[in-house]
Amino acid sequence: MLTRFLLLLMLLTLPLAGWADAFGEALELLLERKFADKEQAVPALMVTGDERVRPLLQALLQGELRYRASDRQIYFPRDGKSIAVLSGQALGEIAPSEAKKINLNNRMRSQIKSALAELNLAHADPAKRLQAVNALLGSLDAETIEVLRKRQQSESDESVLEVMALALSIADLGSGDEAKTLAAIAQLEGSLNAQIRGELLRLQQTAESEAVQTAAARALASIQARLDWYATLETLFFGLSLGSVLVLAAIGLAITFGVMGVINMAHGELIMLGAYTTYVVQLLLPNHIGISLFIAIPAAFIVSGLVGILIQRGVIRYLHGRALETLLATFGISLILQQAVRSIFSPLNRSVETPAWMSGSWQVNEVLSLTLNRMYIILFCLLVFALLFWILKRSRLGLQVRAVSQNRAMARSMGVRSEWVDALTFGLGSGIAGIAGVALSQLTNVGPNLGQSYIIDSFMVVVFGGVGNLWGTLVAGLSLGVANKLLEPWSGAVLAKILVLVFIILFIQKRPRGLFPQKGRAAT
Amino acid sequence: MRLTTAVKRFTLASAVAAGLGLSSLASAADTIKVGILHSLSGTMAISETTLKDTMLMLIEEQNKKGGLLGKQLEPVVVDPASNWPLFAEKARELLTKDKVDATFGCWTSVSRKSVLPVFEELNGLLFYPVQYEGEESSKNVFYTGAAPNQQAIPAVDYLMNDIGVKRWVLAGTDYVYPRTTNKILESYLKAKGVAEEDIMINYTPFGHSDWQSIVAEIKKFGSAGKKTAVVSTINGDANVPFYKELGNQGISAQDIPVVAFSVGEEELSGIDTKPLVGHLAAWNYFMSVDAPENAEFIKAWHSFIKDEKRVTNDPMEAHYVGFNMWVKAVEKAGSTDPDKVAAAIIGVEVPNLTGGTSKMLPNHHITKPVLIGEIQGDGQFSVVWETEGLLPGDAWSDFLEGSKDIEADWVELKCGNYNTVTKTCSGQNY
């Protein structure tokens, strides 16, 4: 009786012990030094079917998994405690020098991603399941197809089923059976998925049956037509987004140079100050990256605007009407500002973080995706333009600015304090440059040379658009951006820039006053 | 009494005078001058200032060990201000006015080309610590950075054999190093059977920031059903918006890995590395390498620069190796005479920071290990692949027309530009 009981007990515990061992052994593989050995860990873990595998893999992918150097115990942090993977127990305090990170390489990352996708196929959340099937599309093998077929029967969500059907059709394409392949091609026609395109290309070139070859060729042709259409849309978007950056950089200059006639070589540095303001605001609010951007916009306006007023009151007003001297003096100021930033913030670039809602892209379909940061910048540019336009055309300050720039003497005799208006106008233009800096900090490097790379472009846009005309600046910036992007794939980035510059020079020869010249008395 | 005091005074005075004279004589004769020719201002200051500090640290450590040939080393620092013609002037100043015994310096290829005639004319010694495009071997220059076969070619081999890459994007900034490297890589890939349409070459200006259409093009190029990788010789600042755009357009390192030749720890220390995780870099040294020499070097660097956060990088290691080789050669020759040192340094072996031993070769290049690292979230690299043993640097690429027949050998041939077909030594006036 007793022996029987013991035997039963042994039978019960044996497989359990075996399971725990397999998991433990697979876990050990993660600590191997050579990646060739380490890469065995994920498949080994998947074989065990242990429920600890999913949280383990998630922690591993996110780089949270650590091991203690002294006893090579693998753990991950949860709620401020270190939980051992094997036992599930808290390990207590672990010194930072003891905590070693488990590093991954790209092959392991893709292993883990498809392993997690496989595990997530049974997830309760349909969105998670959809994600899982999509992730599996790229790595279809006999095993995953089998899993998908099984899952298809129990799946209830429409969109998940759709992608599953797609995955199984892709599998059919490679099945070698003619009828199956033809049916799959018919079903997949018009789909933009890259995986499918690759399979169809392969079929077109290597399929034995002629019917399959022609069907694949036809499907590819219809796909290509749609691809070309989306590629054109994409180029247009790229052009508009480059154009809106140009407009943002130039629009402040359109006021100081366009309306007031001051050649301000320090304009680029005012943009740079705006970008550094963003950096400082982020430093002050390290936990609210999203909000910090909204605070940075008015802050940058004020900082750059004040510096602008200082430049105007301190230097430019004494050089009124002497263009060459203004140019040299503001060039000197630009060098001073650059060096000041180098001394305060170091000559190295500063890293400005992009908030989560601005990274990534909006996936319109399989081939067309619009990057979010660029979309926000286009919107932001239009907003700034509208606001500025309103100030100049509708507000009292705008009226005075226009009055002073058109006829200073007359405006003064009407009681306008022209000196004061000059300072405010310059401050407004400089402040807008600061706002442009906030936008640019999200796109490019924040460093002392930031301004220099935009000053030439800004002048180009303002001159091309017609001095003293806000609409001109908008149209010129956007069209230069689109022209640049249309040329780029054909000529390369370096030549595209040169071609645009040559075009502008020729254009200015023909129409010295730009796209939208000012008419009437104001023009003289 | 009076006399004795006078005598005493005289002897004292003469003793003091002699002492002073002796000591000044001693200090004049007892130092060996080492020139440091790195830009401390201008665009290159970001990278080169670190190398100046590295040299000062190495010299200080050597002096603590008792100097060299019983003399102290004296650093002479000049600032060529990222201005290429000024490099030549400063080099001349170091060699004629300061009479330095060896010079460590330059970063860009154009600055090296600018000082080359000066070092050859005045017979100085230059140690150049940065990876470069090759196609050069001067009697007066020792190249301690990687030649193309010690960085670009092994990286491509890794992608081809270990990752299974079939389509290639060669993206670079528009200047001499990327253009020459890409020319070498293109003919190498073609020799390996890669078709013309599977190679895409793209150049962008310095500081390029609008990467939208290029990244979109790479994405399209990579969606043809074959594994695609980008080999990047993009320089400096332009890398940040490039990687950001890759991230935004949803291209991860698992889809299309980017292997970079100009992105190291120093470049990563100023930026948010989240979008870069998993992308690759090929170097001969990484700060994360687990070797006792490296741990010691990092410790010394941190205590010298008084900042625990400063990183170390590949050109720093090249200076470490180059300086130690020079020290050994001077000890071997028993003199600092350039000709004697240049003869003695060939074959000198010193430990490098990755646990191996680097050797100076007759073509004035050194042996180096090649490491491929993946960028981690903390701005460091984790090594995913390394060559078995060390690779000898090859001055003239075997994969370029016109260059594959040329050899450099300063021991047997006494020539840096010897054509093995026509059996002549041409160019560079040797």
The interface pTM score, or ipTM, of the predicted complex is 0.74
Q: Where are the alpha helices (DSSP H) in A315-451?
A: 323-345, 372-394, 396-406, 408-413, 418-441
Best A102, A105, A368, A494 residue to mutate vs chain B (most B CBs within 10 Å): A105
pTM of the entire structure? 0.78
Which residue among B204, B226, B250 sits closest to A361, beta carbon to beta carbon? B250
Residue B151 · residue B281 · CB < 8 Å: no
pLDDT at A184: 80
**Closest to B156 in 3D by CA, of B375, B387, B354, B361:** B387
**Closest to B408 in 3D by CA, of B376, B377, B362:** B362
Q: What angle do CA B310, B312, B315 make, to 5 degrees?
A: 135
Rounded Cα distance, A53 and A85, in Å: 9
- Per mean pLDDT, which of A86-95, B258-267, B299-308, B404-413 is the most reliable? B299-308
Residue A372 · residue A360 · CB < 8 Å: yes
% pLDDT > 70, chain A:
94
Which residue among B43, B204, B224 sits closest to A493, beta carbon to beta carbon? B204
Rounded Cα distance, A285 and B427, in Å: 61
- DSSP code per residue over B190-240: HHTT--GGGEEEEEE-TT----HHHHHHHHHHTTSSS-EEEEEE--GGGHH
DSSP classification of residue A447? S
Rounded Cα distance, A449 and B207, in Å: 10
* Predicted confidence (pLDDT) per residue in B356-385, tens digit: 999 999 999 999 999 999 998 888 998 888
Count how many residues are written for chain B: 430
Rounded Cα distance, A417 and A359, in Å: 46
pLDDT at A296: 95
**Contact across the interface for B209 and A492, Cβ inside 8 Å:** no
pLDDT at B64: 94
Q: What angle do CA A149, A151, A152 make, to 5 degrees?
A: 65
Residue A79 · residue A21 · CB < 8 Å: no
Which residue among B250, B270, B385 sits closest to A350, beta carbon to beta carbon? B270
**Local confidence band at A409 (pLDDT 50, 70, 90 cut-offs):** confident
Residue B18, chain A, CB below 8 Å: the answer is no
Best A62, A97, A103 residue to mutate vs chain B (most B CBs within 10 Å): A103
Which residue among B45, B216, B225 sits closest to A347, beta carbon to beta carbon? B45
**Local confidence band at A3 (pLDDT 50, 70, 90 cut-offs):** low
Residue B352, chain A, CB below 8 Å: the answer is no
- Record the tokens describing residue B211, joined without a space: 């990467």
Rounded Cα distance, A417 and A400, in Å: 9
* Predicted confidence (pLDDT) per residue in B15-53, tens digit: 444 444 444 444 445 799 999 999 887 777 778 889 999
Q: What is the CA radius of gyration of chain B?
A: 24
Please report, for chain A, the start and end positions of each structural domain, with discontinuous segments joined by +.
2-104, 109-208, 238-360+368-451
Please give the average per-residue pLDDT across A451-456, as a whole number: 88
Give the minimum alpha-carbon distance from A80 to chain B in angstroms, rounded to a whole number.
20
The backbone torsions φ and ψ at residue B127, rounded to the nearest 5 degrees and listed phi first, read -105, 120
- Per mean pLDDT, which of A27-36, A423-432, B198-207 is the most reliable? A423-432
For CA atoms A426, A429, A433, A434, give the dihedral sign.
positive
3-state SS of chain B: helix, strand, coil percent to 5?
A: 40, 20, 35
Rounded Cα distance, A171 and A176, in Å: 10
Q: What angle do CA A395, A396, A397 make, to 5 degrees?
A: 90
Residue B224, chain A, CB below 8 Å: the answer is yes
Chain B, 155 to 184: residues with Cβ < 8 Å from chain A are 163, 174
Contacts of B377 in chain A (CB under 8 A): 63
The H-or-E segment that residue A74 falls in is strand A74-78
* Whole-number average pLDDT of chain B: 87
Whether residue A77 has pLDDT greater than 70 = yes
Please give the average per-residue pLDDT across B227-247, as a whole number: 87
